[in-house]
Amino acid sequence: NAGVTQTPKFRVLKTGQSMTLLCAQDMNHEYMYWYRQDPGMGLRLIHYSVGEGTTAKGEVPDGYNVSRLKKQNFLLGLESAAPSQTSVYFCASKGRAAPYNEQFFGPGTRLTVL
Amino acid sequence: QQQVKQSPQSLIVQKGGIPIINCAYENTAFDYFPWYQQFPGKGPALLIAIRPDVSEKKEGRFTISFNKSAKQFSLHIMDSQPGDSATYFCAASNTRSGYSTLTFGKGTMLLVSP
């Protein structure tokens, strides 16, 4: 099993450009999450999904949109990138039957917005 | 409002020392407290977790101490090794909802010198 994979690993955008980050998991997990990690700020939840076709806002949702058309995929979109969105983005997933609340994280996408 | 406060921001210990990282939470609805370990360039991975019905949990060299009345919990690393050098995040969640989201502390960068 590959676990949680993220595409791309690195990306540089200019202000105002758009892009989509792809997260895929092969563990048949129901729940998926997008976080951003900034120095000294920890991990902050952007959006999450409790199942195919459903999404919800997290702590810092502004400027981002998400979609979960397939159970195994969770997409994070930036419609008009801003320098404040320069960050490392992590996707995570969790199974409904997990005995504990363990979330499995992907390797991250480092995004720079110039 | 920062719901999980973590300290210190960084920590340097010698090999064999016992680093201690502390976290405090505010939301009494939290009922699951994991610690995640993150190596440079990687995603966080679950290290150890505790529920508030116990005051201590050990897994190998890692121990969580939990004080429910003080709303505090801490991570101790016994006989620390250079390979333990990483960033550690505490987190908390309310698992009553199956998709329960994690609230992370800001992280502690640990360096174990040889």
Q: What CA–CA distances, in Å, run from A48 to A60, B89, B90?
A: 11, 20, 20
Handedness of CA B95, B98, B104, B110 (dihedral sign): positive
**Residue B16 falls in which region: left (phi positive, over 0), alpha (psi -120 to 50) or beta:** left
- Answer yes or no: are the C-beta atoms of A23 and A75 closer than 8 Å: yes
Q: Which of residues 14-73 of A touch B (CB under 8 A)?
A: 30-31, 33, 40-45, 48, 50, 58
Q: Is A29 helix (H, G, I), strand (E, B) or coil?
A: coil
Backbone angles phi, psi at A83, to 5 degrees: -55, -30
- Answer yes or no: are the C-beta atoms of B45 and B37 closer than 8 Å: yes
In whole angstroms, what is the distance from residue A24 CA to residue A3 CA? 8
What DSSP character marks residue B82? G
In whole angstroms, what is the distance from residue B66 CA to residue B72 CA? 6
Would you state the structure tokens that stand for residue A40, as one six-digit string? 């000294």
Q: How many CA atoms lie within 13 A of A106 on its CB side?
A: 30
Interface residue of A23, A43, A57 to substitute, partner B, most B CBs within 10 Å: A43
Residue from A101, A41, A49 nearest B94 by CA: A101
Judged against a pLDDT cut of 60, whether residue B1 lies above it is answered with no
Query: Measured between CB atoms, does B29 come within 8 Å of chain A?
Result: no
pLDDT digits (tens, 9 = 90+) for A37-95: 998 889 999 999 999 999 999 999 999 999 999 999 999 999 999 999 999 999 999 98
pLDDT digits (tens, 9 = 90+) for B20-70: 999 999 999 898 999 999 999 999 999 999 998 899 999 999 999 999 999
Q: What is the mean pLDDT of chain B?
A: 93
- pLDDT band of residue A109 (cuts 50, 70, 90) is very high
The angle subtended at Cα A32 by Cα B93 and Cα A62, nearest 5°, is 85
Residue count of chain B: 114
pLDDT digits (tens, 9 = 90+) for B68-95: 999 999 999 999 999 999 999 999 998 8
What DSSP character marks residue A17? -
Q: Which residues in chain A have their CB less than 8 angstroms from residue B32's CB? A: 100-101
Report the pLDDT value the prediction gives residue B2, as an integer from 0 to 100: 63
- Answer yes or no: are the C-beta atoms of B51 and B60 closer than 8 Å: no
pLDDT digits (tens, 9 = 90+) for A3-44: 999 999 999 999 999 999 999 999 999 999 999 999 888 999
- Answer yes or no: are the C-beta atoms of B105 and B90 closer than 8 Å: yes
